[in-house]
Amino acid sequence: MKSTLGYWTFAVIITLSALVYQRVTGPTNPKRVKVTFENQIVKNKLPRSGDSNTDCKVELKSIPSFWDASLYYREYRSNEKSNKEWIVTPFTSEESNKIFALLPHQDAAGKLEYYIEFKNTNNNSVVDISKSEPIVIRFKDPVPAWALAPHILLIFIAMLFSNLTGIMAAFNHDKFKYYGILTIAFLFVAGFIFGPIVQKYAFGAYWTGFPFGFDLTDNKTLIAFVAWAIAVYFNRNERRPLLSAAAAIVMIIVFSIPHSLRGSELNYETGQVVTGYIPYIRSILPF
């Protein structure tokens, strides 16, 4: 691979593929669903993230007129099965062949689980969306664009430089050390400056990863940073391309973990925000 363009092309392809994967698998991205009404298949997207200052609209389109829809929801707790009763609210019509219902807003990091049930007004038959595996939606405080936009952009650039460095290191390109330094610089600003700012606005805490908590998003950023810190440090005076290639692989792996998985969650009993692993770890400890 003599052409620098070739390195950049592969780096862009890998980075965009990772971003698409994140978009598809992320637990707060809209969930694609479909339901069959007799012989008609209808596809929709349902929200899995909402703002704490406004009710979340659950909107459906192309539902046949002789089917009534109802939204069932209740508080969600990741560490235990909820025994709360389902609250039911009917969907109402709006323009352009759409119906909607509202999920009540929750405090930051509060979660609801919900499903949708349809009843045929002609023969009383029933179909549903996600009744056996309810959809979980998490609420957050609004994050200003001046904090969120740079965070996303800089993470993207850091991932791009990481992939570029890894490819260059694999072929022992002269500039792999230079792009490794750019990688760790952008990762630091994105993950340890703008990241905590976004976290503070959204859930009220700057950092909930190690050693203060078990937030997976924070911890995977920390792991990637440590991997790149090792690679950059040991490449100061000597060329160690294998370390840079390994750091790039580590970053791909950790950022392939869906964003916001095992993230902050509101404990409805205590009113405190905890991170995803804490309830599980506490449940298995003998003390």
CATH number at residue 97: 2.60.40.10
Whether 275 shows a pLDDT value over 80: the answer reads no
CA distances, 240 to each of 77, 179, 247 (Å)? 47, 14, 11
The predicted-structure confidence for 84-127, as pLDDT tens digits, reads as follows 899 999 999 987 789 999 999 999 989 999 999 999 998 889 99
Residue 44 and residue 85 in one domain = yes
pLDDT of 209: 83
- Out of 97, 113, 140, pick the residue that ends a domain: 140
Residue 117 and residue 204 in one domain = no
Q: How far apart are CA 216 and CA 36, in angstroms?
A: 36
Which neighbouring-strand residues pair with 266?
273
pLDDT category of residue 24 using cuts at 50, 70 and 90: confident
Q: How far apart are CA 162 and CA 146, in angstroms?
A: 24
Residue 267 and residue 175 in one domain = yes
Q: How far apart are CA 236 and CA 242, in angstroms?
A: 14
Instruction: State both tokens at 57.
Output: 């609209």
Q: How far apart are CA 24 and CA 242, in angstroms?
A: 31
Strands (E), 67-200: 67-75, 87-90, 92-94, 98-103, 111-120, 126-129, 135-140
Domain limits at 237? 4-25+143-284
Most confident of the ranges 118-122, 209-213, 215-219? 118-122
Quick one: what percent of the chain has pLDDT higher than 90?
66
Q: What DSSP assignment string belongs to 169-180?
A: HHTT-TTHHHHH
Residue 93 and residue 220 in one domain = no
Whether 269 shows a pLDDT value over 80: the answer reads no
Q: Which amino acid is at 7?
A: Y
End-to-end Cα separation, the chain, in angstroms: 58
- Out of 140, 157, 180, pick the residue that ends a domain: 140
pLDDT of 28: 83
Nearest by Cα to 275 from 190, 194, 211: 211
Question: What's the structural domain count of the chain?
Answer: 2
Q: Of 9-18, 27-36, 230-239, 268-277, which gets the smallest average pLDDT?
A: 268-277
pLDDT of 285: 37
Residue 147 and residue 136 in one domain = no
Whether residue 213 contacts residue 203, with contact meaning beta carbons closer than 8 Å, is answered with: no
The H or E element spanning position 84 is: none
Instruction: State both tokens at 236.
Output: 């100061």
Whether residue 129 contacts residue 37, with contact meaning beta carbons closer than 8 Å, is answered with: no
Residue 131 and residue 57 in one domain = yes
Whether 168 shows a pLDDT value over 50: the answer reads yes
pLDDT of 231: 97
Nearest by Cα to 257 from 225, 218, 230, 199: 218
Q: How far apart are CA 16 and CA 256, in angstroms?
A: 12
Whether residue 256 contacts residue 189, with contact meaning beta carbons closer than 8 Å, is answered with: no
- Out of 140, 169, 199, pick the residue that ends a domain: 140
